[in-house]
Amino acid sequence: MALVGTFVAGALAISLLLAGSADASMVAPRSKCDGQTNIKAPESVQEDAMRCLINFARKHAGSGGLGSDRALERAAGRKVGDLMDCGFSHTACGNPFDLYAHRFG
* Distance between CA atoms of residues 26 and 42, nearest Å: 25
pLDDT value, residue 11: 53
Dist. CA 34–CA 48, nearest whole Å: 8
Residue 95 pLDDT more than 80? yes
7-36 pLDDT per residue, tens: 555 555 555 554 455 577 778 877 788 888
Are residues 83 and 11 in contact, defined by beta-carbon separation less than 8 angstroms?
no
Please report, rounded to a whole number, the percentage of residues in the chain having pLDDT higher than 70.
79
CB 71 within 8 A of CB 105: yes
User: In this predicted model, which residue has the larger pLDDT, 8 or 56?
Assistant: 56
This prediction has a pTM of: 0.50
